[in-house]
Amino acid sequence: MIIHLKSGADEQLIAELSQEINAFRLISFGKDTLVCSSVIKEIPDRYTSIIDSWVAFPNDMQLANIDYTNSKREIDLGFGKIGGNTSNTAVIMGPCAVESMEQITQSAELIKSLGLSVLRAGSFKPRTSPYSFQGLGHKGLEHLDIIRHEYGLKIITEVKDASHVDDIIAFADIIQIGAKAMYDNAILKKCSKTDKPVLIKRGFGTKLQEFVQAAEYILSGGNENVILCERGIRTFETKTRFSLDLCGAAYLKEYTNLPIVLDPSHALGFAYGVPDLARASMAMGVDGLLIEVHPNPAHAKSDAAQQLDHDTFKDLFESLKKIAGALNRNII
Amino acid sequence: MIIHLKSGADEQLIAELSQEINAFRLISFGKDTLVCSSVIKEIPDRYTSIIDSWVAFPNDMQLANIDYTNSKREIDLGFGKIGGNTSNTAVIMGPCAVESMEQITQSAELIKSLGLSVLRAGSFKPRTSPYSFQGLGHKGLEHLDIIRHEYGLKIITEVKDASHVDDIIAFADIIQIGAKAMYDNAILKKCSKTDKPVLIKRGFGTKLQEFVQAAEYILSGGNENVILCERGIRTFETKTRFSLDLCGAAYLKEYTNLPIVLDPSHALGFAYGVPDLARASMAMGVDGLLIEVHPNPAHAKSDAAQQLDHDTFKDLFESLKKIAGALNRNII
Amino acid sequence: MIIHLKSGADEQLIAELSQEINAFRLISFGKDTLVCSSVIKEIPDRYTSIIDSWVAFPNDMQLANIDYTNSKREIDLGFGKIGGNTSNTAVIMGPCAVESMEQITQSAELIKSLGLSVLRAGSFKPRTSPYSFQGLGHKGLEHLDIIRHEYGLKIITEVKDASHVDDIIAFADIIQIGAKAMYDNAILKKCSKTDKPVLIKRGFGTKLQEFVQAAEYILSGGNENVILCERGIRTFETKTRFSLDLCGAAYLKEYTNLPIVLDPSHALGFAYGVPDLARASMAMGVDGLLIEVHPNPAHAKSDAAQQLDHDTFKDLFESLKKIAGALNRNII
Amino acid sequence: MIIHLKSGADEQLIAELSQEINAFRLISFGKDTLVCSSVIKEIPDRYTSIIDSWVAFPNDMQLANIDYTNSKREIDLGFGKIGGNTSNTAVIMGPCAVESMEQITQSAELIKSLGLSVLRAGSFKPRTSPYSFQGLGHKGLEHLDIIRHEYGLKIITEVKDASHVDDIIAFADIIQIGAKAMYDNAILKKCSKTDKPVLIKRGFGTKLQEFVQAAEYILSGGNENVILCERGIRTFETKTRFSLDLCGAAYLKEYTNLPIVLDPSHALGFAYGVPDLARASMAMGVDGLLIEVHPNPAHAKSDAAQQLDHDTFKDLFESLKKIAGALNRNII
């Protein structure tokens, strides 16, 4: 249940109600708001005086629910807005991992040359094997910071576990929560206490309901700037790494108020079909694309098979612009 | 292994080789051809005189392999060609099932008004429950035949089991093998003995390798006109009926020589996102779309939730034309 | 809805009701019975005179529903009964496919030596690749018939498509419908018109609801002797061929009135763990086990990796008897 | 690659080799050991003098590989040993979550009365929804500590994120890493620096290879006491909460040297079939069972549907003892 409080409502009553229904208090669209479990369907009469309006939902998809807002949330990424009535699609690209200054300098040059504004690159890499490359860690953030200032780019980078969540929140322009970390309540709660945009990647075994509930952790803590990223789910098929769940994206677009970003690179796991999938994603009218591009994919330290080289990305970008044009969308 | 025989080769030797390697004999791209299990990697020397050339493959994806042809197969649908160098995308639509003359007359009117040429509608419906509507059967084919002649449309309709496979082969312009029937060897073998186009739907639990092997049943029997249709796979997600596997479609596009058709209607299972998914499919540059459209979806006897109404389809069709234009593809 | 008719009820009224609710008529537990879609929740008053009792179900799991019978169905396999109050578990084994007289003679010798009574072996093999061994066909049935008479064994063998369903129904003591054929309405309907036991294997992508509905096809046609066989479902895991769904088996045991057989061989796809899985299955208290055993697994023409050799099976059988003893079950 | 160093080997050379191959150094079965990525297949000749023996593996399943040890690891749980040649199965039970002193006192009484020695109960609950009961946190640990001392029981309890990992490591007798946290590198690394037993639950979307690699994180850091727990994987089936992957358990039993525990409660998600699944698990001969039991399941604050009541557990325990007896296993 979401409850909008009257302005100037009695703080003592608010506290009692909060306690009784075990609610979170937040500012939601400028309003003093309480949110509690959807199990609660009614409010005792004694609180009538402090309540402006309330709405009950059938399950714990509440603040993210399109029925709460009747419109999409608009989120400012620093270089432009997505969602709302913007018809904007953010094209976000860069290498899987920061590997060296030289590498991300080349990435930054490409981004600038295409008129784009944001660089993606991970520095804390969640790796399944302890024996794989684990990322440059804080050194990587230093590299990214230099690029950020030199090229005037925004940086999206990933938090993989709670041990460095504070550092990523302080550093990133857009915080990315990885697919393996999206159930991590400690990360989610920390990200609810900033107002930076947070892009949550759907776990590859995560149901849409659970995915939206991860967003609810952040929204209920008071951060309204949450973006959902579908990046492929694990199915029985093994010829491809994962399967990009566009049906799931269609569901999220229909039933939630959050912007949707699609990541075709991790979904397919191979570069060959990423351009086709990126075009498909653009034609769906989503709010962003996240694409892995590396100056020299064959020598990438992680995800070598799936990163596009620069020339392939340039060709792809031309066709993305054409599709955007045909459908009256703007690329930012 | 695929073996192209010399013209005028000794029939006795051909027979002995066929027996020894347990081969199928067929005409493939105009050549007298044997094909046998990929387990066979070498041919005894005594057959050298009858062999023009041969190629061995790592697995039983052989006649369908892009490495066999180095180009896509071109297939004539009667109203236009797909595949090869055509850049054509066939837009195929119509109701889930023939329900009445009135219903499919309305469908035919819409198809003609949009300049399209083919009607989809099932008459033998594979139903999970014995208590559900099972289709009009032969009566439905009679209805479709009237429409075919009155409106000059081609008909694609589905075989659900071997008991009526001969009837469908005789009747349809394009034979559709349903997702639940695609492992049926009896159907596949019968369809290998016609030269009508055969569209095979991927089973919802079917691996890509198995899907292509179903096509191999038809190709190895001598029918070169096989089309693969991805229509959604079953995953852990239940908010949507299935998940349209565009990663799988990208794989098939890259590694096989068969045209690819996408069916967003069965994948999502709900009408709301079908236009977005159809646009995505078009932007992938596939060879065809299969979309369920019903004059009155709310009263459809099967798949009521997922069929588009006529106005929605008309809007969708406008945007499909724009995307096709942007990507230099032609809608047929 | 299931309707039990009064004996001597007016045939004209029965016919009208059947037509109105689109019902199947059958003898169920000795009673003249109609069954129709669970969508029907009420019967018009005019039919009151012909109705003894009726029950409505929430979905199309009806004749198979434990709430219909309040007890398990008992099925006579010819060599003993399973289900009901028998506490019997049928141990059914044999090779994947009939390959030669010599091979199945060895199998029969083993079966007899252990005091068992039934041989499993396929003769029409559903193969994903057209280039793989397809079974001996009718020749294999001839072999099996000799064994049947010489050793006094019952034979369970598989129908793979509708082209030979009549032959299998005529030949087999227990008819097996394969996992890839279980949606085949033509096979299901034919099997509803015999009273031989029919073992349906769950498709590897088949939901439990759909699986039970396949049984409903047979039950609603009048054959009360249906057995459900769980043989592994397809998941994201690829180290094993499939995953034996014991949770699904637990569901079927709780909510249906049909005997349950488990097939650990196809589930795992490798011989190494089959004994452990067979012991687990026995300890669940199911009605039967189906295990692939071959005199010489390394030379098997199909499923070579998963068949147990005779010595391994003998050891397994000893431990199965101990578990059965501990849990007061009888092996037949 | 795993390298056993000579005792008294030159520390400078060890350091150089470690750096060159990016290795972890640990004591493994009493030997001074380096382990590095399986990508490394050879060691430069200059290090020959410091190396006693080495072994290369095809992938990053190394310290956990049965081919490394040729026998199962034996792990001391404080109240008995599992693995190795013990033939012991630990029966671990208790409520999903600590809810009150009264509740876990009842659990402790039951455990003692059955002659068992360990209590499971979570205090930091990973919840998908922010609006659900999140556990008692540190207060719950205080409750558990009282029980531990009063009843002389060992405690297994769960870490859900890195924010409290140090507290759990300090508190628990056996540390449980939850299914949603098992990719968390920070948790895994912390748990590698204790020598307490660590039970890792397989993520519901986790491949066996990845699951074992999570264990490698702990083993490579020097903690040899790792236990794998299969607790159900997510499949397309929705009638049950998950599917207990006994095929996966068979694989782990065959190919790893780690003890295996099965958790039927979370797999099925409903109490009705848990006894059958527990019996099946026992008959597989695994090293432990983890079963949710609650004094009053209907009032449980989490997982209410799947917890057994005390009487049901007592009956189950009787049959577990019989199966153990039949198969010469000991329950601890």
The confidence score (pLDDT) of residue D170 equals 97
The confidence score (pLDDT) of residue B304 equals 87
Task: Please list, in sequence order, all residues whose beta carbon lies within 8 angstroms of the beta carbon of residue D10, skipping any fewer than 6 positions away.
Answer: D49, D50
Instruction: Name the least confident of B174-178, C103-107, C204-208, D128-132.
Output: D128-132
D127 has pLDDT over 90? no
What does the pLDDT average to over C100-114?
A: 98
- Could you please report the per-residue DSSP string of B262-316? E-HHHHH-SGGGHHHHHHHHHHTT-SEEEEEB-SSGGG-SS-GGGPBPHHHHHHH
**DSSP-derived secondary structure letter, D299:** G
Q: Where are the alpha helices (DSSP H) in chain C?
A: 11-21, 66-69, 101-113, 138-151, 165-171, 185-191, 208-220, 246-255, 264-268, 274-283, 310-326
Structural element, H or E, at residue C156: strand C154-159
| Per-chain mean pLDDT for chain D | 96
What does the pLDDT average to over A208-214?
A: 97
D128 has pLDDT over 90? no
Contacts of A36 in chain D (CB under 8 A): 131
The beta-carbon neighbor of D280 closest among C232, C236, C280 is: C280
Q: Cβ separation of C36 and B131 shorter than 8 Å?
A: yes
The confidence score (pLDDT) of residue B184 equals 94
| Per-chain mean pLDDT for chain A | 96
What does the pLDDT average to over A170-199?
A: 96
What does the pLDDT average to over A91-104?
A: 97
The beta-carbon neighbor of B234 closest among D205, D234, D236 is: D236
Determine contact, residues C241/C270, Cβ cutoff 8 Å. yes
Find the angle CA(B163)-CA(C186)-CA(C169) to the nearest 5 degrees. Answer: 105
Which chain A residue has its CA at the smallest distance from C233's CA? A236
Which chain D residue has its CA at the smallest distance from A130's CA? D217
How many angstroms separate the CA atoms of D201 and D228, rounded? 6
Among the listed residues B209, B214, B218, the one whose alpha carbon sits nearest the alpha carbon of residue B179: B214
Give SS3 for C214: helix
Instruction: List residues bridging with D118 in a β-sheet.
Output: D154
How many angstroms separate the CA atoms of B76 and B74, rounded? 7
D207 has pLDDT over 90? yes
Tokens of B72: 């896509």
Which residue carries 């072994």 as its tokens? D55
The confidence score (pLDDT) of residue C133 equals 84
Determine contact, residues C1/C38, Cβ cutoff 8 Å. yes
Which chain D residue has its CA at the smallest distance from B242's CA? D236
B208 to chain A, closest Cα gap in Å: 7
Mutation site, B66, B241, B244, B247, interface A, largest A CB count within 10 A: B247
B215 has pLDDT over 90? yes
A162 has pLDDT over 90? no
Determine contact, residues C140/C123, Cβ cutoff 8 Å. yes
Within 190-219 of C, beta carbons closer than 8 Å to B belong to 203-206, 209-210, 213-214, 216-217
A131 has pLDDT over 90? no
Mutation site, D247, D252, D321, interface C, largest C CB count within 10 A: D247
B305 to chain D, closest Cα gap in Å: 21
CA dist B214 to A16, B62, C321, D142, D254, Å? 66, 12, 42, 62, 34
Which residue carries 């196809």 as its tokens? C266
Contacts of A130 in chain D (CB under 8 A): 24, 60, 185, 188, 213, 216-217, 220-221
**B132 — pLDDT class (breaks 50, 70, 90):** confident
| Per-chain mean pLDDT for chain B | 96
Task: Please list, in sequence order, all residues whose beta carbon lies within 8 angstroms of the beta carbon of residue A239, skipping any fewer than 6 positions away.
Answer: B207, B208, B209, B248, B251
The confidence score (pLDDT) of residue C254 equals 98
How many angstroms separate the CA atoms of D245 and D232, rounded? 6
B138 to chain A, closest Cα gap in Å: 34
B227 to chain A, closest Cα gap in Å: 19
Within 84-113 of B, beta carbons closer than 8 Å to A belong to none
The confidence score (pLDDT) of residue C267 equals 97
The beta-carbon neighbor of C132 closest among B37, B188, B206 is: B37
**C163 — pLDDT class (breaks 50, 70, 90):** confident
The confidence score (pLDDT) of residue B144 equals 97
CA dist B126 to B136, B177, B178, B295, C22, Å? 12, 11, 8, 22, 17
B162 has pLDDT over 90? no
Q: What is the pLDDT of residues D62-84, one digit of tens each?
A: 999 999 999 999 999 999 999 99
Which chain A residue has its CA at the smallest distance from B266's CA? A247
What does the pLDDT average to over A156-185?
A: 95
The beta-carbon neighbor of B247 closest among A268, A284, A327 is: A268
Give SS3 for C269: coil
**A98 — pLDDT class (breaks 50, 70, 90):** very high
Among the listed residues C166, C200, C181, C182, the one whose alpha carbon sits nearest the alpha carbon of residue C125: C181
**B185 — pLDDT class (breaks 50, 70, 90):** very high
Which residue carries 């995308």 as its tokens? B89
C128 has pLDDT over 90? no
B28 has pLDDT over 90? yes
Which residue carries 């189950």 as its tokens? D316
Handedness of CA B71, B75, B76, B77 (dihedral sign): negative
Among the listed residues A220, A222, A177, A180, the one whose alpha carbon sits nearest the alpha carbon of residue A200: A177
Q: What is the pLDDT of residues B294-331, one digit of tens each?
A: 999 999 988 889 999 999 999 999 999 999 999 999 99
Contacts of A161 in chain D (CB under 8 A): 161-162, 184-187
Q: What is the pLDDT of residues C52-69, one digit of tens each?
A: 999 999 999 999 999 999
What does the pLDDT average to over A20-40?
A: 95
Q: What is the pTM of this model?
A: 0.96
Contacts of D24 in chain A (CB under 8 A): 130
A302 has pLDDT over 90? no
ipTM of the complex: 0.96
**Would you call B238 an interface residue with chain D, using a CB distance cutoff of 8 Å?**
yes
**C126 — pLDDT class (breaks 50, 70, 90):** confident
The confidence score (pLDDT) of residue C131 equals 87
A165 has pLDDT over 90? yes
Neighbours of chain B (3+ CB pairs under 8 A): A, C, D
B210 to chain C, closest Cα gap in Å: 6
CA dist B38 to B219, B327, C132, Å? 15, 38, 9
Task: Please list, in sequence order, all residues whose beta carbon lies within 8 angstroms of the beta carbon of residue C244, skipping any fewer than 6 positions away.
Answer: C230, C231, C232, C262, C263, C264, C267, C268, C277, C281, D246, D247
Tokens of A12: 């003592």
The confidence score (pLDDT) of residue C304 equals 87
Q: Cβ separation of D235 and B236 shorter than 8 Å?
A: yes
Tokens of A113: 């040359």
**B47 — pLDDT class (breaks 50, 70, 90):** very high
Task: Please list, in sequence order, all residues whose beta carbon lies within 8 angstroms of the beta carbon of residue C324, skipping any fewer than 6 positions away.
Answer: C89, C282, C330, C331
Which chain B residue has its CA at the smallest distance from A210's CA? B237
Q: What is the Cα D208 distance to its own chain's centre?
A: 14
Tokens of C271: 């011989």
Burial of C245 (0-12, 13-18, 19+ CB in 10 A): buried
Per residue, the 3-state secondary structure of C169-207, as one string, reads HHHCCEEEECCCCCCCHHHHHHHCCCCCCEEEECCCCCC
Q: What is the pLDDT of residues C22-46, one digit of tens each?
A: 999 999 999 999 999 999 999 999 9
Task: Please list, in sequence order, all residues whose beta carbon lies within 8 angstroms of the beta carbon of residue B311, skipping any fewer than 6 positions away.
Answer: none
The confidence score (pLDDT) of residue D302 equals 87
Q: What is the pLDDT of residues C255-285, one digit of tens each?
A: 999 999 999 999 999 999 999 999 999 999 9
Give SS3 for D64: coil
The beta-carbon neighbor of D277 closest among C209, C233, C250 is: C250
**Would you call C37 an interface residue with chain A, using a CB distance cutoff of 8 Å?**
no
Q: What is the pLDDT of residues B254-273, one digit of tens each?
A: 999 999 999 999 999 999 99
What does the pLDDT average to over C204-232?
A: 97
| Per-chain mean pLDDT for chain C | 96
What does the pLDDT average to over A252-264?
A: 98
Q: Cβ separation of C284 and D280 shorter than 8 Å?
A: yes
Contacts of C251 in chain D (CB under 8 A): 239-240, 273
